[in-house]
Amino acid sequence: MTSVSFDDAIPIVNERAEYLRKSIYSADELNLEFTNDYLIKNWLDKNAISVVFGDSNSGKSFFAVDLAYHVASGKNWFGNRVKAGQVLYIAAEGGRGFNKRIAAVKNNKPDLHEAGRKNLNILSVQIDLHGAEDAEAIKDQTNKQDYNLLVIDTLAMSIGEGSENDGRDMGMFLTNINQLKAHFNCHVMIIHHTGKDKSKGARGHSSLRAALDTEIAIKVDGSIRTAKVTKQRDMESGKKVAFTLDIVGLGLDSEGEVITSCIVKQTDVPESVTKKKKLSGYDEVAFQALHEAITKHGRYIKNSEHFPSSRKIVDDEHWFNAFKLRRSDNVVTTDAIRKSFNRARGKLQEYDYIREYENKIWCIDEPDRQDK
């Protein structure tokens, strides 16, 4: 019998432990780089996670396809510089509809298509990022750093049997998203839907928003659609672009009917979006009550990515109590007051007067009342 030497055995390597070991450095080794490692300047960083969300038929997927084409081509996107790179677009809703979107760009924006076609890669199947199998499969079918942008369209069709509203399920989904981001050193963009309460943004568990570097809301006003940054971890928030969806013909089907799709066309941001809507009624009462609550009970929350460090934050119960006092002369029940308060709260978010996270509220831009 031949003897076996342990010196010849292949050691077992814990890849995660090895990655963490190599990632540790001392403060003395810190090397601050001043290069701007963006994907789309002022909008998307390279190694980051974003969500683009909106109502059904708001144009969010057309918006994402257009953005992906610009990254693939390196052409400026809405006047912002772009670093060209490989894109993997996972069209998890699949089907003929997505292919029509690509054909629409090819036929109606030939320069954009020609510049980006070799860098735009499409995976048109439903995937499951609730479990680890598909995330590993996506990593295994390519080499590291093959992609600069990974688009997941949509979250609902990529979370498998998981629930968007369950913290554990969303945590598993985000673990896989982060592993893909780290593997490719890329930006991951997730296309998602607005929740039932539109004032609270994208639907699902709050851990999703907490994990984001960038959040972009798509809204429709007539024929104009706007994309607005509603969260930005390391850059300025509040940026907006506007576009229309122009219907284009692609040809005739077997029955002689015209096959159509849409392309994104840049337009000016409408004045109704750039100017805040004037408050009245209980909306105005609620805003006045908020300032009173902030004055009496507001606190600065430092060292948290969820709250602006220069704004005073107040608990929503302090705000409600201040609102209730302003309606004390009215013969109404507490339940009726609560309903009018919740309606006003939603309007103030919709009109971009306030933001909130985990029932803590702050004003967006009241420097005379809020900043130090």
Residues 254, 137 share a domain: yes
Percent of the chain residues topping a pLDDT of 70: 87
Please indicate, yes or no, if residue 318 is contained in any of the structural domains: yes
* Position 18 confidence tier, pLDDT thresholds 50, 70, 90: confident
DSSP for 9-27, written as a single string: SPPP--HHHHHHHHH---G
* SS3 annotation, 155-190: CCCCECCCCCCCHHHHHHHHHHHHHHHHHHCCEEEE
* Residue 123 in domain: yes
CA distance 131 to 173: 7
Last residue of a domain, one of 270, 293, 320: 270
> What pLDDT score was predicted for residue 363?
87
In a domain, 9, yes or no: no
**Sign of the CA dihedral with 344 first, then 232, 93, and 252 last:** positive
Residue 15 counted as domain residue: no
3-state secondary structure of 231: strand
Give the domain-ending residue among 228, 248, 270.
Answer: 270
Domains in the chain: how many in total? Answer: 2
Indicate whether 47 and 188 sit together in one domain. yes
- Mean pLDDT in residue range 270-277: 67
Summarize pLDDT for 56-80 with one digit per residue, the tens. Answer: 889 999 999 999 999 999 999 999 9
pLDDT in the model for residue 2: 60
132/215 same-domain check: yes
Please say whether the beta carbons of 294 and 321 come within 8 A: no
- Supply 51's token pair: 């969500």
Q: Would residue 82 count as lying in a domain?
A: yes
Is residue 23 situated within a structural domain? no
**Together in a domain, 247 and 365:** no
Is residue 128, in this structure, part of any structural domain at all? yes
Q: Are residues 253 and 285 in the same domain?
A: no
Task: Write the single-letter amino acid at 26.
Answer: S
Q: Identify the domain containing residue 346 by its residue range.
A: 281-370
Q: pLDDT value at position 326? A: 86
Burial grade of 152 (CB within 10 A; 0-12, 13-18, 19 or more): buried
Task: Identify the domain boundary among 248, 270, 292.
Answer: 270
Domain with residue 358: its CATH number is 1.10.10.10
The pTM of the full predicted model, rounded to 2 decimals, is 0.72
- Average pLDDT on 337-350 reads 87
Examine the domain organization and report whether 265 and 363 are in the same domain: no
250 and 106 inside one domain: yes
Residue 148 sits in a domain whose CATH number is: 3.40.50.300
Minimal CA–CA distance to 341: which of 298, 285, 303?
285
- Domain assignment present for residue 12? The answer is no
Q: Kindly state whether residues 43 and 164 are assigned to the same domain.
A: yes
Q: What is the mean pLDDT of residues 146-151?
A: 93
Count each helix (H run) and each strand (E run) in the chain, helices first: 12, 15
Q: If we measure between CA atoms, which residue out of 182, 158, 240 comes closest to residue 46?
A: 182
Residue with tokens 């780089």: 33
What pLDDT score does 32 carry? 61
**What 3-state DSSP class applies to 54?**
strand
What confidence score (pLDDT) does residue 127 get? Answer: 93
* Residues composing the chain: 372
